[in-house]
């Protein structure tokens, strides 16, 4: 029976030009995520604006709701954004669990400063100050304004003072250049209390202010409500919170479509899946607390159950679902 259902699903997928194993979400590289990940554009725009507002902002998301993808897309958006005085960095509690985070921050910001053109961003005075601080006493073109990843373009005196002391002092140095720092921290995958509190401790080591020096100008933290509760218990700082509503069943279809569509052929705004797959099939396995992946697994199970019939009956069954869906919407 299961084989018949699987065969029918494969045949249906082939007929519609969908991948053999549809519906399924495969891990995407961050380059792929830039074109294949569906996120709410208004949310991304709002977060990019938030990055310009000093403070600590917490985006509360359910487990498996794409917070990691969202944080990467936000980083890309900020790096390509109009505000080139903004230096963003993304740290991940799970990916960077043992790394020297302060070293990553220093290296990333020094690299970003070295790679960008500043003469058309900063005022003449600020540009002069930047070049003075980077050790270039005369304007000899872009090359001088570039620093290697190790900070080789920065004189040893500056390196010693700014690159080895407490991180807040380094961030204060960046602030004196007329630039702002934004920390994006992905704490979303932390289900275990020990892991969550360890990550919070590491964040505190990194971002706590020191003496007259602030930490980062802006922090945007992606985390589950339970992790936020722990954060606010052990380190209350006047967080600004917003909740990320789980993706709706209709949006799950958009996620699937964006994930699988032929980039060279199909318009991103046109999602034929919505016409092909009745939303009721997604809705049946959808719950607000489920991950996107779990909803997709439930959809696949639902499709297999529906397709467990003679191939000729598949379309009648789908039509029945569509009718139910239409009744639901009306």
**Binding-site member from 31, 132, 193, 313 for other proteins (CB under 8 A):** 193
Residue 225 backbone phi and psi in degrees, to 5? -55, -35
Rg (the chain; Cα; Å): 24
Q: In the complex with other proteins, which residue's Cβ is closer, 51 or 273?
A: 51
User: How many residues form the binding site for other proteins (CB under 8 A)?
Assistant: 32
Question: In sequence order, which ranges of 135-268 are alpha helices (DSSP H)?
Answer: 142-145, 156-163, 167-176, 193-207, 225-234, 249-260
Q: Evaluate whether 181 touches 218 at the Cβ level (below 8 Å).
A: yes
What distance in Å separates the CA atoms of residue 143 and residue 106, rounded to the nearest whole number?
Answer: 21
Q: Evaluate whether 57 touches 240 at the Cβ level (below 8 Å).
A: yes
**Residue 20 found at the interface with other proteins (CB under 8 A):** no
User: Which span (77-85, 113-121, 224-232, 253-261) binds other proteins, by CB under 8 A?
Assistant: 224-232
**Residue 54 found at the interface with other proteins (CB under 8 A):** yes
Residue 60 backbone phi and psi in degrees, to 5? -90, 120
Q: In the complex with other proteins, which residue's Cβ is closer, 37 or 171?
A: 171
**Residue 200 found at the interface with other proteins (CB under 8 A):** yes
Residues 231-260 interacting with other proteins (rule: CB under 8 A): 232-238
**Residue 268 found at the interface with other proteins (CB under 8 A):** no
Q: Which residues pair with 297 in a beta bridge?
A: none
User: Which span (27-35, 221-229, 253-261, 281-289) binds other proteins, by CB under 8 A?
Assistant: 221-229
- Name the residues that contact other proteins, by CB under 8 A: 54-55, 165-166, 193-194, 197-198, 200-202, 204-205, 208-212, 214-215, 225-226, 228-230, 232-238
């Amino acid at each position: 029976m299961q084989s018949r259902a699987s065969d029918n699903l494969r045949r249906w997928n082939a007929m519609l030009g969908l991948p053999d194993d549809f519906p399924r979400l495969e891990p995407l590289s961050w380059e792929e995520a830039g074109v294949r990940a569906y996120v709410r554009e208004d949310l991304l725009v709002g977060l990019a604006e938030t990055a310009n507002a000093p403070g600590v902002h917490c985006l509360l998301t359910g487990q498996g709701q794409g917070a990691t993808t969202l944080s990467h897309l936000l980083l890309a958006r900020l790096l390509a954004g109009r505000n080139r005085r903004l230096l963003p960095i993304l740290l991940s509690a799970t990916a960077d669990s043992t790394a020297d985070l302060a070293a990553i921050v220093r290296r990333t910001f020094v690299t970003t400063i070295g790679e960008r053109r500043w003469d058309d961003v900063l005022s003449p005075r600020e540009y002069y100050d930047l070049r003075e601080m980077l050790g270039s006493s005369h304007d000899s073109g872009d090359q001088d304004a570039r620093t290697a990843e190790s900070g080789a373009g920065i004189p040893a005196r500056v390196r010693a003072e700014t690159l080895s002391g407490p991180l807040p002092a380094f961030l204060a140095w960046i602030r004196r250049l007329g630039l702002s720092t934004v920390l994006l921290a992905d704490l979303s995958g932390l289900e275990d209390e020990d892991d969550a509190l360890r990550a919070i401790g590491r964040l505190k080591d990194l971002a706590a202010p020191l003496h007259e020096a602030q930490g980062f100008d802006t922090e945007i933290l992606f985390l589950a409500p339970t992790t936020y509760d722990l954060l606010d218990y052990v380190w209350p700082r006047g967080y600004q919170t917003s909740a990320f509503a789980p993706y709706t069943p209709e949006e799950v279809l958009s996620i699937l479509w964006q994930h699988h569509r032929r980039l060279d052929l199909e318009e991103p705004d046109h999602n034929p899946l919505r016409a092909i797959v009745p939303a009721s099939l997604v809705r049946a396995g959808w719950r607000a607390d489920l991950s996107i992946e779990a909803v997709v697994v439930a959809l696949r199970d639902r499709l297999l159950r529906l397709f467990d019939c003679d191939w000729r009956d598949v379309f009648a069954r789908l039509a029945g679902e569509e009718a139910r869906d239409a009744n639901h919407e009306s």
